[in-house]
Amino acid sequence: MSHEISDSSDPAAWLRYARGDLALAQVPLPEDSFYELLCFHAQQAVEKALKAVLIINNISYPKTHNIRTLLDLLPKEIVLPADVDAAATLTDYAVSGRYPDEVDEVNEEEYQEAVRLAQAVVLWAESILPAPDTESEDPNSESH
């Protein structure tokens, strides 16, 4: 299996990775695993989707997992839907729960909320990024 390696300044690449993390967050809980680990991927989906939006707006960002920090960098003219703003709560999943000494047990309801927020942010980011150029598709095809 291969995947395209892209420039880290390509917002479409960040969004692809956000979708990948969202897909991992949504897998059924594997045996001997924890919701905390799936919530990490929900947090990563949000972080990467926000970085895509920042890139498309030519805004530099620090190396951080703090979603509130990333949200605060967005231009003020971008109106944040409530779920996008609420996704700042997922910052805790960036580290907490990934290591045995940092475990705050996550229940199924909290996990479902994390996935719901991540889905909302990814969909929102997709709506902001420009659609891929469809004119560069097959030049021999006729449009009707």
Structure confidence by residue, pLDDT tens digits, 77-113? 998 999 999 999 999 998 876 666 666 789 999 999 9
Tokens linked to 60: 């530099």
Answer yes or no: are the C-beta atoms of 56 and 130 closer than 8 Å.
yes
Q: Is a pLDDT exceeding 50 seen at residue 8?
A: yes
133 vs 13, more confident: 13
pLDDT score recorded for residue 105: 86
pLDDT score recorded for residue 95: 81
- Span 58-82, average pLDDT: 94
For the domain 11-128, what is the CATH code?
1.20.120.330
Confidence (pTM): 0.84
Of 56, 55, 87, 57, nearest in space to 71 by CA: 87
